[in-house]
Amino acid sequence: MITHGTIYDAIGGYETIDRLVTAFYNRVGNHPLLTPIFPEDLTETARKQRMFLTQFFGGPKAYTEERGHPMMRRRHLPFPITPERRDAWLACMDAALEEAEVPEPYRTAMFEKLTMTANHMMNTPE
């Protein structure tokens, strides 16, 4: 039996994170609730997300090495994140996890962890 030390390793590492982030931002870039709070050019945002998710799921700590402690809530405070936007973000991520073919049980584990993070990012009522 093969065991994996981290979700990052278990899902196939950077290649899977790259597919996930690409699929995710293809959705975000076309979502009417999300485009107002994201830059028009998502290249740099996606690059940071790849680093963050790599680290978040147990891979190399490139995000912290380049940008310092993630402090995700503080970094997101300038953007009005409502419950409706949280749900839209999670819907995009759920579909991206499927498109990237993240296998179970990792897909569910990742979505649960990202849901907790998304809940923490909300900072504006509807």
- CA–CA separation, 45 and 43 (whole Å): 6
User: For residue 85, is it within any domain?
Assistant: yes
User: For residue 17, is it within any domain?
Assistant: yes
> Given a cut of 50, is residue 1 above it in pLDDT?
no
**pLDDT computed for residue 3 by the predictor:** 53
User: For residue 52, is it within any domain?
Assistant: yes
pLDDT tens readout for residues 39-81: 999 999 999 999 999 999 999 999 999 999 988 889 998 999 9
Q: How many domains does the chain have?
A: 1
Its pTM surpasses 0.85? yes
Supply the CATH number for residue 117's domain. 1.10.490.10
> Given a cut of 90, is residue 4 above it in pLDDT?
no
Task: Encode burial over 31-51: b for 16+ CB neighbours within 10 A, e otherwise.
Answer: eebbeeeeeeebeeebebbbb
∠ CA 36-40-44, nearest 5°, is 115
- Res. 88 pLDDT band, cuts 50 70 90: very high
- CA–CA separation, 52 and 72 (whole Å): 10
User: For residue 1, is it within any domain?
Assistant: no
User: For residue 4, is it within any domain?
Assistant: no
For 110, the domain range is: 10-121
